[in-house]
Structure 1
Amino acid sequence: MTKVPHDAVVFVGDGRKALFLRNEGDAQSLNLKAEAVFEHQSPATRMQGTDRPGRLSKGPHSGQRSAVESPNWHDIEEHRFTKQVAIAAEQLLRSGSAKMFVIVAPPRTLGELRMALHADVCRHVVAEIPKDLTKLPVWEIEKHLLEAPA
């Protein structure tokens, strides 16, 4: 069972949606209340990149050229969104609104968050759960947190 202390902020997110929930209950009976919701609307790929991919020459006289792979605009936007969420977590810590964090995110997002979070925030993370719970209602998130291994 994952311990979510009273007044801890539970971050539940992926690369497109993030919830900051505060535990107003205790570790045995969670009572999560939404504090902030971040949702990123990523436009269609055709709306994000308008230029054709570039081409590279193999050498000055070879006459061979190869195409450069197009960037994955959705991955780039998810990475930016993760950085924005990390900044929001730092602001919560600096303002004194949060003293402890529990992070619930898919493994890839969890890894990106670890790199994006400020060291001060990382010191206040009491648990990490590698799951995607962003599409679940709050009561189901509470249930998953109580069942998750510590």
Structure 2
Amino acid sequence: MIELKQGTWVVVTDSEKALFLRNLTDHENPNLDLFGEEVQENPSDREQGANRPGRMQDGGVQQRSAMADTDWHELQKERFAADLAEHLYDEAHKGAFERLVLVAAPKVLGDLREALHKEVSDRVIAEVPKTLTNHPVDKIEALVKKELETA
């Protein structure tokens, strides 16, 4: 069982929003305090793209194939994880937290894990592969506590 000690940071994120919570009490009765939030504007790919997908010549006469266009929306999601990892590195470097719990959708968790600096990853005590960014804080408290008790 992993304990949610006092002062532990819990970062709840998806690919467009991050909630920064700090446990003010102990594991028995966690009290997560929301002390920060990051939201990224990420319009749909259709709104971000400027042109139609390109076309290229095939081997045959008068034959052309469509080329896949960059998915700007998906690219921005990956950048959000990298930006969040950088922010966590800055905070860890300042000594803002000693223990960290990451709560994110599995894909986002993978992107974030890949982008974390060693100084931050050494402080990660648990990862919860769930999307909880739109849950109220009291539900996040209960779900995180339950996940840590079964870990």
- Say whether the fold is shared (TM-score over 0.5): yes
Corresponding letter in the other structure for 2:131? D
The match for 1:102 is 101
- Deviation, 1:113, is 0.5
Superposition RMSD in Å: 1.6
String of CA shifts for 1:76-122, please: whole Å, max 9, x gaps: 11111111111111111001111111001011110000111112111
The match for 2:137 is 138
* Equivalent-residue separation in structure 1 for 2:111 and 2:51 (angstroms): 28
Q: Which runs of 5+ in 2 are unaligned?
A: none
Q: Report the secondary structure of 1:69's partner residue.
A: coil
String of CA shifts for 1:15-50, please: whole Å, max 9, x gaps: 011011111111211111112100112123333111
8 Å contact kept, 1:7–1:98: yes
Matches within 5 A, 1:1-150: 2-59=2-59, 63-148=62-147, 149-150=150-151
TM-score between the two structures when normalised by the length of structure 1: 0.91
8 Å contact kept, 2:2–2:125: no
- Deviation, 1:56, is 2.4
* Equivalent-residue separation in structure 2 for 1:115 and 1:80 (angstroms): 12
* Equivalent-residue separation in structure 1 for 2:113 and 2:105 (angstroms): 12
* Equivalent-residue separation in structure 1 for 2:119 and 2:41 (angstroms): 29
Corresponding letter in the other structure for 1:76? L
Aligned residue pairs, count = 149
* Equivalent-residue separation in structure 1 for 2:61 and 2:88 (angstroms): 52
8 Å contact kept, 1:82–1:112: yes
TM-score between the two structures when normalised by the length of structure 2: 0.91
Q: Report the secondary structure of 2:80's partner residue.
A: helix
